Structure 1
Amino acid sequence: MNAPNRHELFVLEDDEKALEVTEDTKIPNAATFKIVKQDHTVGNMLRAQLLAMPEILFAGYKVPHPLHPYFLIKIQTDGTVTPQAVLEQACTKLIGTMSALEAKFKREFSFKDGEAHGGTTAGMGAMGAEDPYGAGSGGAWSGQRDYLDF
Structure 2
Amino acid sequence: MEPSKKPPSQSDNANSGGSSSQCEDDILNLHVDPGDDRSACITLYREDHTIGNFLRYTLAKNPNVEYAGYDIPHPLNEVMQLRIQNFPDSPETAFETFEESLETMHKTVTYMSEIFNKQAEAFEKGIK
TM-score, normalisation: structure 1: 0.66
Higher RCO structure, 1 or 2 (CA under 8 Å, sep 6+): 2
1:11 to 3, 6, 19: 3
1:80 to 73, 86, 91: 91
Q: Percentage identity across aligned positions?
A: 23
- Relative to structure 1, the CA distance from residue 25 to residue 51 in structure 2 (aligned partners, 3 Å threshold; closer, same or farther) is same
Separation in structure 2 between the aligned mates of residue 25 and residue 111 of structure 1, nearest angstrom: 54
- Relative to structure 1, the CA distance from residue 26 to residue 72 in structure 2 (aligned partners, 3 Å threshold; closer, same or farther) is farther
User: Counterpart in 2 of 1:98?
Assistant: 109
Separation in structure 1 between the aligned mates of residue 34 and residue 98 of structure 2, nearest angstrom: 19
- State whether residues 12 and 37 of structure 1, in contact with CA within 8 Å, keep that contact through their aligned partners in structure 2: no
Question: Does residue 120 of structure 2 align to residue 109 of structure 1?
Answer: yes
5+ residue gaps in structure 2?
Answer: 7-23
Deviation at 1:54, TM superposition (A): 0.7
| AA partner of residue 43 (structure 1) | G
Aligned length: 109
Question: Does residue 12 of structure 2 align to residue 31 of structure 1?
Answer: no
Larger Rg: 1
5+ residue gaps in structure 1?
Answer: 1-7, 120-144, 146-150
User: Counterpart in 2 of 1:148?
Assistant: none
